[in-house]
Structure 1
Amino acid sequence: MLLLVTGTSAAAAPQPASTITVRYSFDGPSLLADVSGHGHDLYPVSRYGGTLGTVPHNGGRALVFPPPCHDEPCPRIALRAPTTSELNPGRRPIRYGASVRLAADQTTKGENVMQKGFSVRGSQYKLQIDGLAGRPSCVLVDDRRPRIHAAISSVGVADDRWHTLECRRSGPYLTILVDDVPRGRAILPSDLSVSNHIPFSLGGKGSFADNDQFQGMLDEVWVEIAQAGGNV
């Protein structure tokens, strides 16, 4: 079934002022709506026939991205939310995550689940799944120093089962959790700041070549950023 972005849905009430949140459940009539109520709805960017499908999951729907392709030009698609400073955490605590399902034959050297920004310019936070083992990792890059800080999971998730992934910045640590269990950690500079004017995206950098296309199933994507002085 191809992705249809039509209609409207009743958004959930906004989250308390302690956090700035986006959440995508991919359920109601407006498939790409931000159901947190903050208005960061997604829109698709695609090339070479890249489309999305849906499958049943947990009483709702999950997205299906294009399968592996080895003969260029390959179908590509990503989802973006309009650029906003609300999704820049700066130096504040941040948590973000998603539910994913990826088979062993759907792995590549790098697949982007979600990201805001690029590692080579402008800073970044990202959740990705890399290598034949399908090991997820969380990435933060400072807006002044382009060093990549990655918390890499000790376990893979490319077993054709659903897994929940979470990235958590708290104090001096960036931690990745797989199915609610901490599986990797990186130490961060205390002044690391993520702030850029690049759109928030799911499933890849964009629709261009070498976009780190995600090739599995995706559901329940969310981001929580603490307000000044707060925790998430």
Structure 2
Amino acid sequence: MGVTVVPAAAHADVVAHWHMDEGSDASVMVDSASAGGQNNGTIVNVTTGVAGLVSGKAYSFSGETPYIEVPDHDSLDPGNAPITLTATVRTVNAPMPDDSYDVVRKGYTDTKGGDWKMEIKRNPNNHSIGRLHCSFKGVMPTGKRRTVARVAQVDIVDGRTHTLECRRTATAVHAVVDGRVFTNAKASGNISNREPVIVGAKMKGDDVLQGTLDEVIIDIG
């Protein structure tokens, strides 16, 4: 594992793009990439319509209850294909009150068919430090599940805006913070599950993001 240079994802196959440009008191997070709103999300206790981190508007998360749920859809499962998760985040100042802030995920540790997630993981020895953690668990050809994860060695719980990427290829997982790339060169297998996508939390009341979120993108292929 180490720092390497990986070309930026082309986003040629964007399956979900949530601009988060909805106004205040919005109830639906609109996906601009899918037909018929199949990857729209239900907004729960999230403050919408705040100043955008990239452009337009963004969402603000605080407290214990906000999250967004996007129903399961086959377009959100990579199978064996490459997948890139992208988000722009500005956290509130540390220390982190929970062990992680989940940014976007599909599935859980025990989910049949594997899972993928982007989160900000708290340093166990210093709760004022939080780092991007990318994790992809898939089913290998042997039938066994394998988790391949990488932590980017950059503190991002600093009240500043950061662009985060979690990239899974056929042979590696890359955690990318503002263009700095950290790699774990292992294959992670086939990922396909029946769980919804959760944005801004692990689930209601658990690992809730504390800060502002903008421009979340899922790119497969």
TM over 0.5: yes
Once the two structures are TM-superposed, the CA of residue 28 in structure 1 deviates from its matched residue by 4.4
Q: TM-score, normalised by structure 2?
A: 0.80
1:198 aligns with 2:195: yes
What amino acid is aligned across from residue 158 of structure 1 in structure 2? Answer: V
Match of 1:130 in 2: 121
Q: Structure 2: any 5+ residue segments left out of the alignment? A: 1-11
**1:96: how far off?**
1.1
In the other structure, the counterpart of 1:112 is: 102
**Unpaired stretches in structure 1, ≥5 consecutive residues:** 1-17, 68-74, 227-232
Say which is worse superposed, 81-90 or 57-66, in terms of deviation: 57-66
Quote how far apart the aligned CAs of 1:197 are.
Answer: 0.3
Q: Of the candidates 8, 18, 25, which is equivalent to residue 24 of structure 1? A: 18
Deviation sequence 1:116-170 (CA, Å, 0-9, x none) = 1112222111000011211011100114544432110011101101100011122
Q: Which position in structure 2 is the counterpart of 1:87? A: 76
Q: Deviations over 1:72-127 (max 9, x none)?
A: xxx31211111111110011011111000013326231111000111222211100
- Cα distance in 1 for partners of 2:95, 2:216 equals 20
Aligned to 1:3: none
Change (3 A) 1:92 1:100: same
2:66 is the counterpart of 1:77:
yes
More strand per residue: 1 or 2? 2
What is the TM-score with the length of structure 1 in the denominator? 0.77
Q: 1:175-214: CA deviations, max 9, x gaps?
A: 01111221x2112236x1110000011011221x5x2111
Correspondence for 1:214:
209
Q: 2:185 aligns with which of 179, 184, 187?
A: 187
With over 3 angstroms needed to count, the CA separation of the structure-2 counterparts of 1:150 and 1:164, relative to structure 1, is: same
Q: Which amino acid aligns with 1:172?
A: T
Amino acid at match of 2:197: F
Which residue does the alignment assign to 1:8?
none
Contact 1:92-1:225 at 8 Å conserved across structures: yes
Count of residues in Structure 1 that have an aligned counterpart in Structure 2: 196
Is 2:35 the counterpart of 1:44?
A: no
Shift in CA distance, 28/52, structure 1 to aligned 2, threshold 3 Å: closer
Aligned counterpart, 2:138:
142
CA contact (8 A) 1:119 1:148 kept: no
| % identical aligned pairs | 27
* Aligned partner of residue 212 in structure 1, secondary structure: coil
Instruction: Pick which of 153-162 and 143-152 moved more.
Output: 143-152
The structure-2 alpha-carbon separation of the partners of 1:62 and 1:152, relative to structure 1 and needing over 3 Å to count, comes to same
Q: Considering only aligned residues, what root-mean-square deviation do their CA atoms show, in Å?
A: 2.3
- Secondary structure in 1 aligned to 2:94? helix
Equivalents in 1 of 2:82, 2:210: separation in Å? 29
Match of 2:8 in 1: none
Q: Which residue of 2 aligns with 1:4?
A: none
